[in-house]
Amino acid sequence: MNYLSNKKGFLGVDNNFNFKAKAIVIPFGLEKTVSYGSGTKNGPKEIIKASHQVELYDEELNCEPYKKIGIKTLKPFKIDKNIVKALKQISKINEENLKKKIFPLVLGGEHTITPGCIAPFAKKYDKLCLLHFDAHADLRKSYNGNQFSHASAIRRCLDHKNISVISFGIRNISSSEIYFLNKNSSRIKIFWSKNKKKWDLKKFKKLIKNKTVYLTFDVDGLDSSVMPATGTPEPGGLFWDETLDIIKIAFKNSNIVGADINELSPIKGFDSYNFLVAKLAYKILSYKFLYK
């Protein structure tokens, strides 16, 4: 694998800092099936650029987490134009990192990346729980005639019979997805955004306790007032502090083995949205290795 220098990679740390990597950031700007706003292909490079402005010291964890983790960034590479082959590309990369016991954080790109990202984890573990943040259920069998649409991302993950899903922030779902959800209620648990004030996070803690988990975060899961820089923004979503509360519960009570963040569509001149995603990525990596 070819990596960016520390200075050009995620967080932009000094090249003189040497470390053994426990985590790898993988830019994978796949954009093939967007159905409204576009630009997700530019997400990874803008997240990495914004990460250079993220404060390395974390006041919550009382340290500079990157020094304790070791984070390398994969050098951007050409993504195959064929969507099936592209998903095999990211699957192979995650499989290699899994063998090396390195935690992969993939930066998309559209949500279509997740079935590819998760494939080697589904193969390795007898049971795998997908922790899913999103405005949309993504349970369609296909969308616009494409079974690998971003609107079918979670459905494709559920093609693996050993995968279950816990979703947060859902507030957009079709009638066909409701039918699928009802038929598969034992495998899919949704914390609906409309019920935020009634969420019982103790129930979530029990649901995720001691499970092997893969985390997928579609940034449109955040409220559109916080994150308008996405192809399909929705009002009524998650805010920063409540999002971190959920993620912390997950890291404290389960074994999260990999993650992706997707669907950022950068808006020129509005770097704050790119910065938010960069800080979220740093928090995820920090919690993985340091949160107790």
Strand, coil or helix: 209: coil
Question: Considering only CA atoms, which of 211, 228, 210 is closest in space to residue 219?
Answer: 228
* pTM for the predicted model, two decimal places: 0.95
Residue 166, phi then psi, degrees to nearest 5? -120, 120
DSSP element (H, E) containing 40: none
Distance, CA of 28 to CA of 31 (rounded, Å): 9
Q: For residues 49 and 2, is the Cβ–Cβ distance under 8 A? A: no
| Domains of the chain: residue spans and CATH | 23-290 (3.40.800.10)
| Order of strands, sheet of 128-133, starting from the edge strand that comes earlier in the sequence | 71-73, 23-28, 103-108, 255-262, 212-218, 128-133, 163-168, 188-191
Cα–Cα distance measured from residue 219 to residue 217, given in angstroms and rounded to the nearest whole number? 6
Q: Along the 292 residues of the chain, how does pLDDT read in single tens digits?
A: 899 999 999 999 987 777 788 999 999 999 775 555 467 899 999 999 999 999 999 999 999 999 999 999 999 999 999 999 999 999 999 999 999 999 999 999 888 999 999 999 999 999 999 999 999 999 998 666 667 777 789 999 999 999 999 999 999 999 999 999 999 999 999 999 999 999 999 999 999 999 999 999 999 999 999 999 998 899 999 999 999 999 999 999 999 999 999 999 999 999 999 999 999 999 999 999 997 6
Structure tokens at 130: 């997908």
